[in-house]
Amino acid sequence: VIGRVQFLWESNFGQRYMHLKWFSRGCETVLGESADPQELFLVDQCENTLLNGIISKVTVQYKPVSPDWNIEKGKDLDDHNSDNDRTFFYSKKYDELHMRFEDIPPEPTNPHPNQT
């Protein structure tokens, strides 16, 4: 299971927590075993959990889809290292309910607008 830490906090009792946004591996989507083992997909799932739940750190890079993707016809992504089991990339969001891939909406400039 791979998640991106969105933010951290500490409870009044000294417990440290993180808020995670989850990714799905390609093999967990309709692509099944035909998926690239390094490709992840954002999903609409998040969770608050204890900070000590982190097992290890991996690298996950956003690789935007080229505006000319239909002309390039499957051209490999630059810097795609398929021999590294600790480096991943994502370019799409996966809608698990409708089993479809979607463009990723832009990140808000201030993810916590009510906090300063």
Residue 8: CATH number of its domain: 2.30.30.490
d(CA 115, CA 94): 29
Q: Which helix (H) or strand (E) holds 71?
A: helix 69-72
How many domains does one find in the chain? Answer: 1
Positive or negative: CA dihedral 45, 64, 56, 84: positive
Answer whether residue 110 is part of any domain.
no
User: Would the pTM count as exceeding 0.85?
Assistant: no
pLDDT score at 90: 95
Answer whether residue 115 is part of any domain.
no
Answer whether residue 39 is part of any domain.
yes
Answer whether residue 8 is part of any domain.
yes
Answer whether residue 78 is part of any domain.
yes
pLDDT score at 116: 47
**Average pLDDT for runs of 10 along the chain of length 116:** 95 96 96 95 96 94 83 62 81 95 78 57
Answer whether residue 112 is part of any domain.
no
- Name the residue range of residue 76's domain: 2-102
What is the Cα Rg of the chain in Å? 16
pLDDT score at 66: 79
Answer whether residue 111 is part of any domain.
no
For the chain, the first-to-last Cα distance in angstroms comes to 32
Answer whether residue 68 is part of any domain.
yes
Helix (H, G, I), strand (E, B) or coil at 75: coil
pLDDT score at 93: 96
pLDDT score at 106: 74
E strands present in 34-112: 39-50, 59-62, 87-95, 100-102
